[in-house]
Chain A
Amino acid sequence: MMLRGLWKLTWIEIKIFLREPLGAFGTIGFPVLIFLGLGRAFARGQAPSSFAATGFIRVGLPVLASILISLSAVLSLVTIISIYREGGILKRLRATPLRPQTILTAHVIVKLILTACSLALMVLAGKRYYPVGMHIPFFSFTIALLISTWSILSIGFLIASIVPTARFAQPIGAVILYPMLAVSGLFVPVASLPPALHAVAKVVPLTYAVSLLEGILRGDAWSTHLSDVVALAVVFVVCTGLSAKVFRWE
């Protein structure tokens, strides 16, 4: 019975998402276009033989794009949850036998599907138009991205629990999430950060997501990144636990 409700709610939320003006394009198409555009710009500006340049194009940029896809899914979740709360939609759903967890699960599933679709589109488009082509272990990389997104979504829930109004949801979310990118090791390796930032990087969940995604993209075995997966799982447990305490339904 609850599965029937979960499936219905998930399916309807997907349809509603696709009806949003700019919904599908803004969250799926746009990041992919940026990714292709940046890739081409970089390839043109750098000597093709430069190791640093090809490293960034082969690994850095795809990981950056994937993380951005994941972050945009998280921000969209934060916004939707706060709009639903402000409009009384969450409360109305809660006045049915639907379990609260089921409502939130449906939204997480929608965002994970969205992330997977964006990634698939990026890889397909990348194979054809990306300057160096996309040679990624697709299955492992998808799993790695879904684990990362799942973990970051729990941070999203925590943000959604504390933002005062829907109007501030997106900006507050962005201000919390995007700066994490700076110390995540994506642009500068964590090891070469100044000691103070080094400590910050250690507690920023994106660091582990970046490390996992880069590793899987380079073809590392899962076993060498167990610590990243464990760290992401810890983030999920902590944030979910905290938001269960402070989440407001209305």
Chain B
Amino acid sequence: MHPVIQVSGVRKTYGPTVAVDEVSFEVNDGEIFGLIGPNGAGKTTTMECIEGLRTPDRGTISVLGLDPFRDVYKLQERIGVQLQQAQLQKRIKVWEAVDLWSSLYRKKAVDGENLLKQLGLAEKRGAWFMNLSGGQKQRLFIALALINDPEVVFLDELTTGLDPQSRRTIWDLVRGIRERGKTVFLTTHLMEEAERLCDRVAIIEHGRIIDMDTPQRLVDRHCPERSVVLATDDPVAEERFRAIPAVEAVTCNGGRFTIRGRGDDFVTEVIRCLSENRIRVTDFRTILPNLEDVFLKLTGHSIRD
């Protein structure tokens, strides 16, 4: 694996506001890399600097060995871009947009009709942009981002504002892009999206990257806690739970216990305790931390705040 995107020490200010500061990371060939953080954290600014739409004040960026500022037209031939909250002309038809975009690139475009079919837009090819649903618009923008058979695809807040079902459809499409051997760089403020899609993520807040790794390793590193929630009416249960070595806290609320501990063996130990003491349970759930918890731990606030 070699990096297709290299970002080093990038800083970008708008007047007195520092949007992005000392941002450095690499994106490897063929992976889905996610830049995650709340709105206004600097995700879009970082992405647009890499796409050549903005010029950083400091730092260096290289994409496919090109400088996004100096070689912007060469770069745009080889990347596909979906912008946050972009629109098209209200009354442009779906096929016209695809046809127009395929005429903008020097190299031969992929078959537009085929692309529309793959994205489930074939029956909408004659519809005006303004009459498409949110999910259809985003799929059209994916089509436009793929029309030049790009090596790297940039997706900025692709599923924001979509219903859960359209979101899942889009996720499958993005995985499909990776399977065609392309590198995907995306931003999102949805932790579930990052967890399900991304091979690696970088967490950004206030313009700085605070950590970067695979979602699983980030969780393991920052949130090793595990919880088991179970329901039992056994009177000695609480005492037994407290005796488990890996347990850190036990709380009880009318027969529902929440048992907290840490480490990979924790859940196994709870199960062993239940079976050895023949404690009868009517409910049993494990709660594993996710990226949402990692974010909370690292920043002290929820990503939604």
**Given A1-B106, A8-B99, A9-B100, CB of A95 within 8 Å of CB of B87:** no
B91 close to chain A: CB less than 8 A: yes
Contact with A along B35-56 (1 / 0, CB 8 A): 0000000000000000101000
Partner of A96, one of B85, B87, B89, B101: B101
Most buried by A among B53, B101, B104: B104
Judging by beta carbons under 8 Å apart, are B87 and A5 in contact?
no
Contact with B along A82-100 (1 / 0, CB 8 A): 0010011101101111110
Judging by beta carbons under 8 Å apart, are B100 and A97 in contact?
no
**Given A95-B76, A95-B81, CB of A89 within 8 Å of CB of B103:** no
Most buried by B among A12, A13, A87: A12
B92 close to chain A: CB less than 8 A: yes
How far does the alpha carbon of A71 sit from the alpha carbon of B124 in the complex, in Å? Answer: 37
Number of A-B contacts (CB under 8 A): 64
Q: Which residues of A contact B103 (CB under 8 A)?
A: 4-5, 8
Judging by beta carbons under 8 Å apart, are B86 and A88 in contact?
yes
User: Which candidate, A15-23, A35-43, A140-148, A234-242, is the interface stretch facing chain B?
Assistant: A15-23
Q: What is the number of residues of chain A that contact chain B, defined by CB distance less than 8 Å? A: 23
Partner of B92, one of A4, A16, A94: A16
Within 8 A of B (CB), among A100-151: none
B237 close to chain A: CB less than 8 A: no
**Given A8-B100, A12-B96, A92-B83, CB of A97 within 8 Å of CB of B105:** yes
**Given A87-B87, A88-B85, A95-B81, CB of A12 within 8 Å of CB of B100:** yes
Contact with B along A181-198 (1 / 0, CB 8 A): 000000000000000000
How far does the alpha carbon of A245 sit from the alpha carbon of B76 in the complex, in Å? Answer: 24
Nearest CB of A to B136, in Å: 16
Nearest CB of B to A15, in Å: 7
B220 close to chain A: CB less than 8 A: no
How far does the alpha carbon of A4 sit from the alpha carbon of B105 in the complex, in Å? Answer: 10
B67 close to chain A: CB less than 8 A: no
Nearest CB of A to B71, in Å: 11
B77 close to chain A: CB less than 8 A: yes
How far does the alpha carbon of A3 sit from the alpha carbon of B106 in the complex, in Å? Answer: 11
| Interface residue range, chain B | 20 to 34
Q: Which residues of B contact A19 (CB under 8 A)?
A: 91, 128
Residue in B closest to A249 when the chains form the complex, CB atoms? B53
Nearest CB of B to A245, in Å: 17
Query: Residues of B with Cβ closer than 8 Å to A?
Result: 51, 53, 73, 76-77, 81, 83, 85-92, 96, 99-101, 103-106, 128, 144
Judging by beta carbons under 8 Å apart, are B86 and A89 in contact?
yes
Which 7 residue pairs spanning A and B have beta carbons closest together?
A: A87-B87, A88-B86, A19-B91, A95-B81, A8-B103, A92-B86, A96-B104
Partner of A98, one of B51, B86, B92, B104: B104
Q: Which residues of B contact A91 (CB under 8 A)?
A: 53, 83, 86
Q: Which residues of A contact B101 (CB under 8 A)?
A: 96
Q: Which residues of A contact B106 (CB under 8 A)?
A: 1, 97
How far does the alpha carbon of A15 sit from the alpha carbon of B96 in the complex, in Å? Answer: 10
Judging by beta carbons under 8 Å apart, are A95 and B53 in contact?
yes
How far does the alpha carbon of A202 sit from the alpha carbon of B216 in the complex, in Å? Answer: 72
Q: Which residues of A contact B87 (CB under 8 A)?
A: 87-89, 92
Within 8 A of B (CB), among A44-60: none
Nearest CB of B to A229, in Å: 34
Judging by beta carbons under 8 Å apart, are B83 and A88 in contact?
yes
Q: Which residues of A contact B104 (CB under 8 A)?
A: 5, 8, 96-98
Q: Which residues of B contact A94 (CB under 8 A)?
A: 53
Most buried by B among A5, A87, A96: A96
How far does the alpha carbon of A172 sit from the alpha carbon of B53 in the complex, in Å? Answer: 29
Nearest CB of B to A96, in Å: 5
How far does the alpha carbon of A89 sit from the alpha carbon of B83 in the complex, in Å? Answer: 10
